[in-house]
Amino acid sequence: MKRGFLLLIVLLLLVPAAHGQKSERSKSSGLRLGIKTGVNSSMNLISNLSVNGSEVDLPQNNYKLGFKLDFFARYDFNKKHFIQPELSYQDNRCQIECDYDELTQAAIPTDLSVFIDTRIKYVEMPLLYGYYFINDGPYTCSILLGPKVKHPIETRHNLNITGMDTPGNVVETLYPLSYSVVGGLNITVGNLFLDFRLEKGLSNISKKVEIPASLSADPTVLQNMIFRRTSEAVSFTAGFIF
């Protein structure tokens, strides 16, 4: 968080310099390139979470901050419309909190929780349509909307489960491609670029979860698991466009 606030302060200090620039570039059309980086907060929208054959009804999402880096190109068709393809790296982190009693069918109620932590690194390719509702001198403000294709850098990764016994490493296999839709708000001041995004997952990202075989029939030991979900995210990035 400290790094994020420091980045924001530095960029805000650059605003007066950007304000003083008088761009000779025509904004009616043309291709520009840019780079931006920032933070994201991701969550999982769960369609089916089942542990030892029991479905979990109300798992809780605990937000965690991740990192993202974007390279993009913007082509202005005119002063109102543009298209923006991107190539992105995103580090998504999320934690699911479940009730221990529900998972283990405990005879004696407890106040314990089971936590499932995930960290997935993606290479992503959004293709966005943009509309300027402000395009005046060095200032622009626009909205963006479009599809995104995501590919996990590692299709197999460990699930970190705490609060419940596991017979070994719990390994999740992800689908090689997943899809989402992205919407956002973008502001530029000169070359300074500020971007806010919302991402809505459209496809299940989890193919299967593998757990080492256990001879124990104890319900407090993880035996099998289904973790079907889509990935959602909110992000804020800042950078430069040239």
- Taking a C-beta distance cutoff of 8 angstroms, is the pair 28, 79 a contact? yes
pTM of the predicted structure, to 2 decimals? 0.82
Most confident of 2-16, 137-151, 221-235: 137-151
**Is position 90 within any domain?**
yes
pLDDT at 103: 75
Q: What angle do CA 54, 157, 220 make, to 5 degrees?
A: 30
**Is position 25 within any domain?**
no
pLDDT at 107: 65
In single-letter form, the type of residue at position 80 comes to K
- Taking a C-beta distance cutoff of 8 angstroms, is the pair 96, 114 a contact? no
State the total domains in the chain: 1
pLDDT at 29: 67
Convert the pLDDT of each residue in 48-70 to its tens digit. Answer: 888 877 787 778 888 889 999 99
Bridge partners (DSSP) of residue 57 are none
In single-letter form, the type of residue at position 3 comes to R
Q: Is the pLDDT of residue 166 over 60?
A: yes
Cα dist from 91 to 43, 98, 162, 193, 212, whole Å: 12, 23, 21, 21, 27
CATH of the domain at 111: 2.40.160.20
Compute the average pLDDT of residues 152-174.
90
pLDDT at 16: 45
Convert the pLDDT of each residue in 83-95 to its tens digit. Answer: 999 999 999 999 9
Query: Who contacts 202 (Cβ-Cβ below 8 Å, separation ≥6)?
Result: 178, 179, 180, 181, 230
Q: What percentage of the chain exceeds 70 in pLDDT?
A: 84
- Give the domain extent around 211: 2-19+31-241
Q: Identify the residue with better confidence: 134 or 99.
A: 134
**Is position 26 within any domain?**
no
**Is position 200 within any domain?**
yes
| Complete DSSP assignment for 61-115 | EEEEEEEEEEEEEEEESSSSEEEEEEEEEEEEEEEEEEEHHHHHT-SS----EEE
Lowest mean pLDDT among 32-41, 47-56, 149-158, 175-184: 47-56
Q: Is the pLDDT of residue 209 over 80?
A: yes
The whole-angstrom separation of Cα 211 and Cα 203 is 24
pLDDT at 50: 84
- Taking a C-beta distance cutoff of 8 angstroms, is the pair 144, 184 a contact? yes
pLDDT at 218: 66
Compute the average pLDDT of residues 217-235.
84
Say how far residue 57 (Cα) sits from the centre of its chain: 24
pLDDT at 26: 44
In single-letter form, the type of residue at position 162 comes to T
